[in-house]
Structure 1
Amino acid sequence: MKVLVTGGAGFIGSAVVRHIITNTQASVVNVDKLTYAGNLASLETVAGSSRYAFEQVDVCHRQELERVFNQYQPDVVMHLAAESHVDRSIDGPAAFIETNIVGTYTLLEAARSYWSALPAERKTAFRFHHISTDEVFGDLHGSDDLFTETTPYAPSSPYSASKASSDHLVRAWHRTYGLPVIVTNCSNNYGPYHFPEKLIPLMILNALAGKALPVYGKGNQIRDWLYVEDHARALYKVVTEGEVGETYNIGGHNEKQNIEVVRTLCSLLEELAPQKPAGVQHYEDLITYVTDRPGHDLRYAIDAGKIERELGWAPQETFDSGLRKTVQWFLANQTWWRAVLDGSYSLQRLGQGS
């Protein structure tokens, strides 16, 4: 099987690529624009495989997408390319509209053109898997409520609104044109190779540098945390075994308040990195409460019962085991994150394809 992965140099996308190359016999063509969040160093362990290819292409570039489809002849598409940071979407929503909405539309049209011309057997087997987020559902108010596959959409930020728009486009292309699509909505991911602007890696690296650990509001926002490698396994299972036209929610069954996550990280660092920066007695002393961001949803939580019942997937990592692995990875891979922090990783964009 040949898999076209968009956004395969990003956090979740690179985990998907690594999983496919390492654990299956499928081939991957990774299509990534290499924005600030794309990092080819996250793929060094699989980049030398004869089953892996990279194309630096923007999903908004129709002609280049058609070239990639025609050249590589994929059997499935896994669409992960997206602008994904809520704070950035508040400061500058235009990029989110362009990539998440226009880019998804452009990719859908390129895929539809390619799929329409396939021989009957390959046409039947083709899949377009759109990877989305639980943030499209907005806020959960009840303490026992969970997002299901039929929860109404109520996005709160420019980011989640753009992802909701892309979800609607994908489902419309299925209903109107018959394109064989599958949609997944996941909870907050964490793990190795996570870009340092996100909560968990930001807290780890700030703590190691003796910097403040900024927590929005009171830190009482609740998220369901999913280890990224569990997510990658789920996504591959969905694209190979899921039903066309269906949606699957993917979650880790790990609801935690943000402040609880930060304190747990501090505790792990006390154990795993006891040599603290000068002037720091306890990592928790670095916690600083800052003004909450506009439109901040209080609680997200996923009901992942459908994918468990129908496809037999369940997360392998608990929050404690996954968070420990994450901290250990960041401590052992300083070359990767230091290159991100000093910007030298961005030199990869030079001379990389189109």
Structure 2
Amino acid sequence: MSEHVYVLGSNSFSGGHFIRMLLDMGYRVTGVSRSPEAHPVFLPHLAANGRHRNGYDFLRIDINRDMPSLLARMERDKPAYIVNFAAQGMVAESWEHPEQWLLTNTVSPVILHNKLRQYEWLSRFVQISTPEVYGATQGMLVENTCYNPSTPYAVSKAAVDMSLMCFYRAYDFPVVFTRAANVFGPCQQLYRIVPRAVLCFLAGGILQLHGGGRSRRCFIHIEDVARATHEIMTRSRPGSIFHIATPRIISIRDLVFLVADMVGVSPEKHITVAEERLGKDLAYTLDSSKLRAELDWREQYSLEQGIEDVIRWVRDNLSVLRAMPQNYEHRA
């Protein structure tokens, strides 16, 4: 297989795992990110020696500032697939600079889409969306649930999704959408709850539990999401939306207590309760029956297997990870 895939947001956790899977399958891959590549401990697609694997190129391009460079490379390479993981992704921080979230997640992507719709070589554009667009809801969410975003981040993602759907209806733009539950696994950034909890418990630290951990989520292993994304990229019809989730829902408190039990520590000694974050939605319950029925996808990892995977990764890299920042660092 020699088809070419562009992965926007290649430095992201999900993007890196998706790239690794594509390279394993024989695709040619070009990764694009506005930031320099992160520490190798966070880049699952690197070779064992820490270098790029054959078939992979990395472009450092900020589409907010240098869209022409990206378009020139795309016009030269004519990739069959473009998968967009790129986004300002932090919910709480989006309240502080909402205009930056709208620029990165909505305005610049729409400029890109308006150029890409003119090219016949593009087979699929995969938009990695988010269940945040639905806002706080009750009951199971299906793919045609109305948007009700409750944070600037969610507004920015809902806006670009609606624009892309307009492009599909008006121009037959070959877009498909994914909305995954909370993704986790090895190589995830340390400000995310699962690796943060594992590292905190192994290093003897204190973990803040916002709102007492009342909010409830589905957590899904990144390898299961990567497989689903590939199936959606290659087999779905343009204009389709797919939820990627498992049936298991767990509160953040229960998740953290499960991690503590698997690490072998007493959670009461390592947890403090903090104020809930502004606009935090209490629950998302995604119905993934469409993905299961149409593309015959099934998850392969249980929650416990995924947590064990993260524990193993943290233990193997404990000295490196302990020296890393554990809080999100925003850049415009």
Above 0.5 in TM-score?
yes
- Counterparts of 1:198 and 1:305, CA distance in 2: 27
- Counterparts of 2:182 and 2:195, CA distance in 1: 13
> Within 5 Å, which residues of 2 pair with 1:8-87?
8-22=10-24, 24-34=25-35, 39=38, 41=40, 42=43, 43-45=45-47, 47-60=51-64, 61-87=66-92
What corresponds to 2:232 in structure 1?
238
- Following TM superposition, by how much is the alpha carbon of 1:335 offset from its aligned partner in structure 2, in angstroms? 5.8
What letter matches 2:11 in structure 1?
Answer: A
SS state of the match for residue 247, structure 2? Answer: coil
Gaps of 5+ in 2: none
> Within 5 Å, which residues of 2 pair with 1:194-213?
194-213=188-207
With over 3 angstroms needed to count, the CA separation of the structure-2 counterparts of 1:190 and 1:166, relative to structure 1, is: same
Gaps of 5+ in 1: 275-281, 347-354
What corresponds to 1:352 in structure 2?
none
- Counterparts of 1:110 and 1:64, CA distance in 2: 13
Report Cα offsets for 1:302-336 as digits up to 9, x if no partner: 10000110001111111111111111111112366
What corresponds to 1:307 in structure 2?
291
With over 3 angstroms needed to count, the CA separation of the structure-2 counterparts of 1:296 and 1:324, relative to structure 1, is: same
- The two structures have a TM-score, normalised by structure 1, of 0.85
What corresponds to 2:94 in structure 1?
89
What letter matches 2:283 in structure 1?
Answer: R
- Counterparts of 2:319 and 2:47, CA distance in 1: 14
Q: CA RMSD in A?
A: 2.0
- Counterparts of 2:39 and 2:239, CA distance in 1: 32
What letter matches 2:35 in structure 1?
Answer: L
- The two structures have a TM-score, normalised by structure 2, of 0.91
State the identity as a percent.
Answer: 27
- Following TM superposition, by how much is the alpha carbon of 1:236 offset from its aligned partner in structure 2, in angstroms? 0.7
- Counterparts of 1:74 and 1:128, CA distance in 2: 10
Aligned length: 320
- Kept in 2: contact 1:148–1:302 (CA 8 A): yes
- The runs of at least 4 aligned residues of structure 1 exceeding 6 Å deviation read none
- Counterparts of 1:109 and 1:4, CA distance in 2: 17
SS state of the match for residue 218, structure 1? Answer: helix
- Kept in 2: contact 1:226–1:254 (CA 8 A): no
- Following TM superposition, by how much is the alpha carbon of 1:283 offset from its aligned partner in structure 2, in angstroms? 4.2
Report Cα offsets for 1:94-153 as digits up to 9, x if no partner: 32111111232132123223x2xx3xxx46xx1111011111111123xxx111101110
What letter matches 1:51 in structure 2?
Answer: G
